[in-house]
Amino acid sequence: MSTSPLQKQSLLSCPTIPLRDGTSHPAIGFGTYKVGFIPASASSVVSGATNEPQRTAEECVREALDVGYRFLECAQFYGNESEVGKAIKASGVKREDLFLCSKVWTTTIEKGDEAICAQLDKTLADIDTDYLDLYLIHWPVPGKHVEAYKTLEKLQREGKIRNIGVSNYAVEDYKELLKEGIAMKPSVNQIEINPFLYRKNTINYFQEEGVVLQSYRSLRDGKAMDNPTLAKIGAAHSKSPAQVLGRWCVQHGFVYMPKSVKKERMAENAEVFDFELSKDEMKELDGLTTPEAFTTFQALYRKCVNRDTTKDGTMEGVKMDITID
């Protein structure tokens, strides 16, 4: 499938969101999790509910760049950064036209400063660039994440990272950073956000702090596409459920990060800048989060902050009382 010039231009000229230093962050990006590679501790692998990927990350990212995506969301944990690098090189897209983000994984965070510095050098080599636009702490590993963040501050001063941030941080994790005397507040917090997990108090807190929110699982891994509310609102705008979810993210001011291994879906997911949801439609979508969703989120947080570390499977150091809504 080829992308129309109009579709591509819409992505190339997509809106941006200013980070605290004035950097322009694209309002939409291509997520590379489970693209060409599925990590061993991914929940779908652990549950036995996954198949081997059918296409390489290089193929998928090349297509995403061809469609017009210029923000690529990567991570050490995703296991495919060298493939992302190959795709960028093959695409011919100039480095200055890209916004590249990566995240450092829990195992490296636990090992400390030297390991984090070495991992960043590996990420830069794999992606074939001399700097990242954004580097994030993937999870707030208890007893380790504050020092890891301070290492990111050092790497930013060295020029290897333009902006630094966090991922999966609760309000209480962020307050811990502030209490421990960090020099630079995070630019970004990447958390799951969609109408089925809309943590309004948490979101409002970070936005008031000037922290831009990146939304992962923006499309809820495709598990809500038959939701009648999405279908009804989509029909009113001649849009798909995925496009409604994407528009909801964009309209709330979150960075929207859809992912797909199919080029036609990559293009479809990005068509969110040519319509607007009404206040009533936004309110209806905001109301789709159930109390059970908050409970599920809290259990996942407790499980994942120690994931893959020497404390995996324990609650050692885990904050048991966090803001879940």
Q: Does 276 have pLDDT greater than 60? A: yes
Angle in degrees, 0-180, between the axes of helices 57-67 and 81-91, rounded to the nearest 10: 40
In this prediction, residues 8-34 reach a mean pLDDT of 96
- Specify the range with the lowest mean pLDDT, choosing from 6-20, 127-141, 190-204: 6-20
pTM attached to this predicted model: 0.95
Share of the chain above pLDDT 90, in %: 91
Residue 7 — pLDDT band, cuts 50, 70, 90?
Answer: confident
Share of the chain above pLDDT 70, in %: 96
In this prediction, residues 198-211 reach a mean pLDDT of 98
Sequential DSSP letters for 13-44? T--EEE-TTS-EEESB-EE-TTSS---TT-HH
Long-range contacts of 112-117 (CB under 8 A, 24+ apart): 112/144, 112/147, 112/148, 112/151, 113/147, 113/151, 116/148, 116/151, 116/152, 116/155, 117/151, 117/155
In this prediction, residues 29-52 reach a mean pLDDT of 77
Question: Average pLDDT of the chain?
Answer: 95
Predicted local distance difference test score (pLDDT) of residue 48: 58
Q: Which residues contact 108 (CB under 8 A, 6 or more apart)?
A: 76, 115, 116, 119
Q: 81-99: per-residue pLDDT in tens?
A: 999 999 999 999 999 999 9
In this prediction, residues 137-147 reach a mean pLDDT of 98
Examine the residue annotation and report whether 33 is marked as an active-site residue of this protein.
Answer: no
Q: Tell which wins on pLDDT, 44 or 270.
A: 270
**Residue-wise burial string across 14-50, b where 16 or more C-beta atoms lie within 10 A, e elsewhere:** beebebbeebebbbbbbbbbbbbbbbeebeeeeeeee
Comparing CA positions, the residue from 62, 47, 111, 101 lying closest to residue 78 is 101
In this prediction, residues 204-217 reach a mean pLDDT of 98
* Contact (CB, 8 A) for 8 and 266: no
Predicted local distance difference test score (pLDDT) of residue 6: 84
Q: Does 325 have pLDDT greater than 70? A: yes
Residue 319 — pLDDT band, cuts 50, 70, 90?
Answer: very high
Question: Annotated catalytic residue: which of 69, 78, 135, 216?
Answer: 78
- Specify the range with the lowest mean pLDDT, choosing from 6-15, 203-212, 238-247, 269-278: 6-15
Q: 288-315: per-residue pLDDT in tens?
A: 999 999 999 999 999 999 999 999 999 9
Q: Tell which wins on pLDDT, 30 or 223.
A: 30
In this prediction, residues 141-164 reach a mean pLDDT of 98
Predicted local distance difference test score (pLDDT) of residue 46: 57
Q: Does 51 have pLDDT greater than 70? A: no
Comparing CA positions, the residue from 232, 257, 236 lying closest to residue 246 is 257
Residue 121 — pLDDT band, cuts 50, 70, 90?
Answer: very high
Predicted local distance difference test score (pLDDT) of residue 112: 98
